[in-house]
């Protein structure tokens, strides 16, 4: 395996949750599978990319969720000024 396998990151934003989230998944357009569903994914790439990680750590680095804990505070609608 190597370069040219069509791996890309897909990000799904869920702003309807109490704490909004971004879900990040790694998908191959060549294999038509998410990295977490490819049983040999770590074996194919880890040694070249991040050999010090365990297989589990490597897999988690390509499939994770980010909680946007301060999203509502940072991006709330500004208060309308009274005239």
Against a cut of 0.75, is the pTM above it?
Answer: yes
What's the pLDDT score for residue 78?
Answer: 76
For 16-65, the DSSP string reads: SSSS-EEEEEEEETTTTEEGGG-TTHHHHHHHHH-TTS-HHHHHHTTSEE
- Total residue count of the chain as it appears in this document: 83
Mean pLDDT, the chain, rounded, equals 90
User: How far is 82 from 78, CA to CA, in rounded Å?
Assistant: 12
Cross-strand bridge partners of residue 25: 10
What's the pLDDT score for residue 82?
Answer: 65
CA end-to-end span of the chain: 65
77: pLDDT confidence band, cut at 50, 70 and 90?
Answer: confident
pLDDT one-digit tens code per residue, 47-60: 999 999 999 999 99
């Amino acid at each position: 395996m190597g370069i040219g396998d069509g791996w890309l990151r897909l990000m799904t934003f869920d702003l309807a949750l109490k704490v909004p989230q971004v879900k990040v998944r790694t998908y191959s357009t060549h294999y038509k599978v998410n990295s977490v569903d490819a049983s040999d994914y770590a074996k194919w790439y880890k040694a070249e990319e991040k050999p010090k990680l365990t297989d589990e750590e490597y897999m988690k680095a390509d499939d994770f969720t980010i909680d946007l804990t301060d999203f509502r505070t940072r991006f709330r609608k500004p208060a309308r000024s009274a005239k």
